[in-house]
C-alpha cells in the first residue's frame, strides 16, 4: 500500500509530537542537596564513628562515588566552579570578592540551564556563596525562577551566641545550644528544612518539573547545633586524628594555619603559637566531637527532606544529588578547617539517586523509599549498596551528569580557552559509570585541585588571600595512586602562572601512604623522573602538562619500586 506525501508528513508529525511527549514525561525533577564543609565522614563512606543513617539510606539506593574532589577547598570558589562547571582559573574566582559574570565570563550555571529548559528552579540556604561572589542576589534572576531563600536566624551565626563556663555569651568555635533559648527558638538549618518542605509541597499539583537546591550550613563552623547531638559522641570515646603532626617534609607554603579557628574566643584562650603550635589534645577531642555531632544534625535535616519526597509521592520521579563544597581537616597533618590540597580538604561525598536507574524498575509507588530515621532511637543497622564507583571524579563533573540523568542534553566540552563560551563544561559526564561501572585501578582518571597562597611561608592571610595578595598557586593532581602538587609563581594581575617558577612540590604514594604524610618530592626517584620530563613544553595547558608528568611519575616510580 502506498501512502501520499501528505500522509507521510502527517505520520511524521504525530511521531515527532509523541517523542516530545515521552521526553517531557522522562524528565526528572531534581532535589540538589549541598552540605557545607562536609568531608567523607559518613557511614556510607566507611566511617565507623559518625552516625548518618539518613544519608546512608540514600546511598543504599544510589550511585556512590568514593573518590570525588573539589576544585578548590573554600566555599565561594568551589560552589562557583561546580555550578558553572568551570575551574577556578576560568571563573577567576579564588576568594569571595568578585562576581564571575563580570570578572571572567557570562557563564551559564547548572540551575540556569534547567530554568532555560522549562524547569522551575528554587534555592534554599547556601548554594551560591552569598555576597559579591553571587552579585548579592545568589545569581537571581539568571539561575532561579523565584528569589532564593536564606534562613532569617543566620544573622546570629557570627554573633556571641555560645554560653561559656562563665555563664556569659561568647563567639566560640564550640557552640552546642539549647534551641529553645535561641532567637526565634530555631536555627538556620531547621528553617531551611521547613522552607524546602514547604516548596516541595507546593509542587504536588504542578506539572512543571522542578530543580530544588537546598544548602545546609552545617557542619560549617561555628558548631552552633542542638546540644542533644553531643550525646551521640561521648567525649571518652573520641580519638585523635591518626596523623596529628605536621609532616617533616611538608613545604611551608602547603601548610594551612587555620586562622578562622584562631579567631574564635574559646580557641584564643588556648594561646596556641602561630603557625604550627598544636591545639591541646583535650580540645582536639572536643572539636572532633562537635564536628561529628554537627554531621548527625545535618543528616536529620536531609532525612526530613527525603521522607517528604515519600509522603508527597515524588520519590519515583525525583532525582536526588547529595554532595558538599569541600572537606575539612580534623587535626590531620596538624591542620584544621579546609584551605589546602590534602584529601581531607578536597575530597567530598558525591551521591546520585536516580529513579529506575539506581533502583529497580517497576517498584510500587506506594512503597516507602526514604522513611525518616531518628538517629537517637536508631537500632544498629547498616545500609549497603553495590553501586559504588571508585573512579577519581570532580565536582566540575556534576553539571553535565545531573543534566543528562535528568533527561536534558549535557553541555558540550569546553575548548582549552573558554572565556567567551557561555555554555560548556570543563568536566565529564559521569552517566557512563551508571551503566558500565568503574574502569578499574589502572584507569587514568585524574582530579585537578588548586589553592592560592600569599607567600612561601604561613601568613595570617594564608588561608584566604585576596586576589591581589596571591603570589603562589598550588596545583594538585590526584590519581588512583598518587597526589602530585606543584606550587608555582602566580601573577594576580594577569592571572598567569609561571610554570618555570617552581616554589615547592609534593608527591605522595597512596598505596604505602594513604594519609599523605611522607612527601617524596625531593627524593632521588623523583629527581630521576624530572630529567625525563624536561621535554613536556608541548603540552597545551598546565593541567595537561601535569597530567603527563604524573603519568611519567607513575611509570617511573612503579619501575623503581619493582627494582627495590
Mean pLDDT of 474-495: 93
- For residue 319, the Cα-to-chain-centroid distance in whole angstroms is 18
464 has a pLDDT exceeding 60: yes
> Of 44, 75, 162, 424, which residue is the catalytic one?
75
* Active-site annotation holds for 220: no
Give 345: exposed, middle or buried? Use CB within 10 Å, 0-12, 13-18, 19+: buried
Residue in 261, 264, 154, 158 with CA at minimum distance from that of residue 217: 154
Q: What are phi and psi of 144, to 5 degrees?
A: -125, 145
Task: Give the HSE-up count for residue 212: Cα atoms under 13 Å, Cβ half-sphere.
Answer: 26
87 has a pLDDT exceeding 80: yes
pLDDT for residue 9:
42
More confident residue, 331 or 10: 331
Give 294: exposed, middle or buried? Use CB within 10 Å, 0-12, 13-18, 19+: buried
Q: What is the pLDDT of residues 170-206, one digit of tens each?
A: 999 999 999 999 999 999 999 999 999 999 999 988 9
User: Per-residue confidence at 165, pLDDT binned at 50, 70, 90?
Assistant: confident
Q: What is the pLDDT of residues 322-366, one digit of tens each?
A: 999 999 999 999 999 999 999 999 999 999 999 999 986 555 555
Residue in 91, 94, 82 with CA at minimum distance from that of residue 32: 82
Mean pLDDT of 414-440: 84
Helix (H) / strand (E) containing 322: strand 318-324
- For residue 71, the Cα-to-chain-centroid distance in whole angstroms is 9
How far apart (Å, rounded) are the C-alpha atoms in residues 126 and 69? 19
Mean pLDDT of 135-161: 97
Range of weakest confidence among 78-82, 96-100, 233-237, 417-421: 417-421
End-to-end CA distance of the chain: 78
pLDDT for residue 16:
37
Q: What is the pLDDT of residues 270-327, one digit of tens each?
A: 999 999 999 999 999 999 999 999 999 999 999 999 999 999 999 999 999 999 999 9
How far apart (Å, rounded) are the C-alpha atoms in residues 402 and 409? 10
User: Per-residue confidence at 437, pLDDT binned at 50, 70, 90?
Assistant: low
Mean pLDDT of 136-157: 97
Max Cα-Cα span within the chain: 94
Residue in 478, 486, 539, 488 with CA at minimum distance from that of residue 509: 478
pLDDT for residue 24:
39
How far apart (Å, rounded) are the C-alpha atoms in residues 65 and 71? 16
Please report, to the nearest 10 degrees, the dihedral formed by the alpha carbons of residues 99, 102, 106, 111 taken in order.
20
SS3 category, 343: helix
> Is residue 25 within 8 Å of residue 277, measured between CB atoms?
no
pLDDT for residue 1:
41
Orientation angle between helical segments 542-563 and 524-532, nearest 10 degrees: 130
Range of weakest confidence among 7-16, 107-116, 172-181: 7-16
* Active-site annotation holds for 129: yes
SS3 category, 324: strand
How far apart (Å, rounded) are the C-alpha atoms in residues 217 and 3? 63
10 has a pLDDT exceeding 50: no
> Of 44, 79, 129, 175, which residue is the catalytic one?
129
442 has a pLDDT exceeding 50: no
How far apart (Å, rounded) are the C-alpha atoms in residues 421 and 441? 34
- Give the domains, in start order, of the chain with CATH numbers: 5-563 (3.40.720.10)
User: What cell does 206 get?
Assistant: 504542578
Whole-number average pLDDT of the chain: 88
Mean pLDDT of 83-91: 97
pLDDT for residue 443:
53
pTM of the model: 0.91
Given its phi and psi angles, is residue 308 left (phi above 0), alpha (psi -120 to 50 degrees) or beta? alpha
Mean pLDDT of 214-242: 97
Amino acid at each position: 500500500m502506498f501512502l501520499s506525501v501528505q500522509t507521510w508528513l502527517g505520520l511524521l508529525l504525530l511521531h515527532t509530537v509523541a517523542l516530545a511527549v515521552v521526553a517531557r514525561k522522562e524528565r526528572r525533577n531534581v532535589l540538589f542537596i549541598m552540605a557545607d564543609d562536609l568531608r567523607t565522614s559518613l557511614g556510607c563512606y566507611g566511617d565507623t564513628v559518625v552516625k548518618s543513617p539518613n544519608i546512608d539510606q540514600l546511598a543504599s539506593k544510589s550511585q556512590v562515588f568514593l573518590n570525588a574532589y573539589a576544585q578548590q577547598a573554600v566555599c565561594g570558589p568551589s560552589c562557583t566552579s561546580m555550578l558553572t562547571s568551570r575551574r577556578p582559573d576560568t571563573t577567576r574566582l579564588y576568594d569571595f570578592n568578585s562576581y564571575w559574570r563580570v570578572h571572567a565570563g557570562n557563564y551559564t550555571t547548572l540551575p540556569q540551564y534547567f530554568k532555560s529548559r522549562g524547569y522551575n528552579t528554587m534555592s534554599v540556604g547556601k548554594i551560591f556563596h552569598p555576597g559579591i561572589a553571587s552579585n548579592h542576589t545568589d545569581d537571581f534572576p539568571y539561575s532561579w525562577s523565584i528569589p532564593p531563600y536564606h534562613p532569617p536566624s543566620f544573622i546570629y551565626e557570627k554573633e556571641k551566641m555560645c554560653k561559656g563556663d562563665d555563664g556569659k555569651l561568647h563567639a566560640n568555635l564550640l557552640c552546642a545550644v539549647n534551641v529553645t533559648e535561641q532567637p526565634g527558638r530555631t536555627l538556620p538549618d531547621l528553617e531551611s528544612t521547613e522552607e524546602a518542605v514547604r516548596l516541595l509541597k507546593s509542587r504536588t499539583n504542578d506539572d512543571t518539573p522542578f530543580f530544588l537546591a537546598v544548602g545546609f550550613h552545617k557542619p560549617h563552623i561555628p558548631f552552633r547545633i542542638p546540644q542533644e547531638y553531643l550525646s551521640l559522641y561521648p567525649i571518652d570515646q573520641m580519638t585523635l586524628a591518626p596523623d596529628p603532626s605536621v609532616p617533616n617534609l611538608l613545604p611551608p607554603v602547603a601548610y594551612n594555619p587555620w586562622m578562622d579557628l584562631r579567631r574564635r574566643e574559646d580557641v584564643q584562650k588556648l594561646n596556641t603559637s602561630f603557625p604550627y603550635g598544636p591545639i591541646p589534645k583535650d580540645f582536639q577531642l572536643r572539636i572532633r566531637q562537635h564536628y561529628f555531632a554537627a554531621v548527625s544534625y545535618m543528616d536529620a535535616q536531609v532525612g526530613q527532606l527525603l521522607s517528604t519526597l515519600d509522603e508527597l509521592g515524588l520519590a519515583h520521579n525525583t532525582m536526588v544529588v547529595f554532595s558538599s563544597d569541600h572537606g575539612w581537616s580534623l587535626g590531620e597533618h596538624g591542620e584544621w578547617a579546609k584551605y589546602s590540597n590534602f584529601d581531607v580538604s578536597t575530597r567530598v561525598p558525591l551521591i546520585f539517586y536516580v529513579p529506575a536507574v539506581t533502583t529497580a524498575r517497576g517498584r510500587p509507588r506506594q512503597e516507602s523509599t526514604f522513611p525518616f530515621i531518628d538517629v537517637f532511637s536508631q537500632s544498629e543497622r547498616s545500609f549497603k549498596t553495590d553501586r559504588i564507583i571508585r573512579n577519581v571524579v570532580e565536582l566540575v563533573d556534576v553539571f553535565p551528569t545531573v543534566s543528562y540523568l535528568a533527561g536534558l542534553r549535557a553541555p558540550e566540552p569546553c575548548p582549552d580557552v573558554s572565556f567567551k563560551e557561555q555554555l560548556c563544561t570543563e568536566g565529564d559526564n559521569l552517566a557512563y559509570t551508571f551503566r558500565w561501572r568503574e574502569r578499574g585501578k589502572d584507569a587514568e582518571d585524574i582530579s585537578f585541585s588548586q589553592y592560592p597562597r600569599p607567600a612561601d611561608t604561613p601568613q595570617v592571610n594564608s588561608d584566604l588571600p585576596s586576589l591581589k595578595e596571591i603570589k603562589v598557586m598550588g596545583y594538585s593532581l590526584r590519581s588512583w595512586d598518587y597526589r602530585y602538587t606543584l606550587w608555582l609563581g602566580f601573577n594576580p594581575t594577569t592571572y598567569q602562572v609561571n610554570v618555570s617558577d617552581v616554589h615547592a612540590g609534593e608527591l605522595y604514594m597512596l598505596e604505602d601512604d594513604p594519609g599523605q604524610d611522607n612527601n617524596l618530592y625531593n627524593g632521588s626517584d623523583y629527581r630521576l623522573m624530572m630529567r625525563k620530563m624536561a621535554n613536556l613544553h608541548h603540552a597545551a595547558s598546565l593541567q595537561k602538562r601535569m597530567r603527563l608528568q604524573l603519568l611519567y611519575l607513575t611509570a617511573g616510580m612503579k619501575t623503581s619500586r619493582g627494582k627495590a
